[in-house]
Amino acid sequence: MSQWMDTRELILEAVVRIIGTHGAAAVTNRRIAAEADVSPGTLTYHFATQRDLVRSALASFVADEALRFQEVTCQLAARNPDLAAEQTTLDDIVSSTGDSAAWFEFIIQVAHHPELHEATAGFFDTYDELAEQVLRAEGVADVENVAPIAVGLLIGSQLRRLATGGSVDDVSAVMSRLTQLLHGTAGI
């Protein structure tokens, strides 16, 4: 990788960290430059506008998350895991997307960048594929139709947890309840 690409990646990673930690409103050229340990002029050398910079950082985030979920899905498919392994995977996903508001901050910011909607739709398709793999292992029927519902419930539960100060265990309990409902074992 060239030094130009290294610097560009450092800048993008700095934007991701800032948005993840402090929110999109905290993204300023001075803060980015300080976080990336580059001069403010270096930012404008690599990105014509701050909008281009933020768009590039969001695109990088979406691509990285999609790749991460694709890898998990492939690993699950390759080892044909049992229900306990699937639950561990689900707990890992809940933890990795719910430790902070960063994940949600990025998803909300993508809404302001219509040019990223297609890439983000691809990310959610990957998330649905992972949910399908988990649901298949749990013996759920009609996984193609149930997966988007499970993903929506997971995201909504994570957002609710963040807004109310709940715990990751609360989200795992909601997802376990969904599985029970799908199997008809939960009393309603």
- 82 touches 140 (CB < 8 A): no
* Together in a domain, 43 and 68: no
Which residue among 13, 28, 47 closes a domain? Answer: 47
- 15 touches 32 (CB < 8 A): yes
* Together in a domain, 29 and 117: no
* Together in a domain, 62 and 22: no
* Together in a domain, 12 and 67: no
Question: pLDDT digit string (tens) for 115-159?
Answer: 888 888 888 888 898 888 888 877 788 889 999 998 899 889 888
Residue 174 and residue 160: Cα distance in Å, rounded?
A: 11
* 154 assigned to some structural domain: yes
The torsion angle over the Cα atoms of residues 162, 168, 171 and 176, rounded to 10 degrees, is 180
Q: Please, which residues have CB within 8 angstroms of residue 119's CB and are 6 or more apart in sequence?
A: 59, 62, 63, 66
* Together in a domain, 39 and 62: no
Q: Please, which residues have CB within 8 angstroms of residue 147's CB and are 6 or more apart in sequence?
A: 128, 129, 131, 132, 135
* 151 assigned to some structural domain: yes
Side-chain-side CA neighbours of 146 within 13 Å: the count stands at 18
- For residues 19-43, give the mean pLDDT: 91
* Together in a domain, 21 and 72: no
How many domains, the chain? Answer: 2
| Domain encompassing residue 2 | 1-47
Question: pLDDT digit string (tens) for 51-66?
Answer: 888 888 888 887 887 7
* Together in a domain, 74 and 129: yes
Residue 58 and residue 42: Cα distance in Å, rounded?
A: 19
* Together in a domain, 80 and 145: yes
* Together in a domain, 41 and 64: no
Name the token pair of 60.
């990088």
* Together in a domain, 159 and 110: yes
What is the percent of the chain where pLDDT is above 90? Answer: 20
* 52 assigned to some structural domain: no
- For residues 105-115, give the mean pLDDT: 82
Provide the pLDDT confidence category of residue 33 given band limits of 50, 70 and 90: very high
* 53 assigned to some structural domain: no
* 188 assigned to some structural domain: no
- 120 touches 181 (CB < 8 A): no
* 99 assigned to some structural domain: yes
CATH at residue 22: 1.10.10.60
* 76 assigned to some structural domain: yes
* Together in a domain, 116 and 159: yes
* Together in a domain, 136 and 62: yes
Q: Please, which residues have CB within 8 angstroms of residue 26's CB and are 6 or more apart in sequence?
A: 18, 19
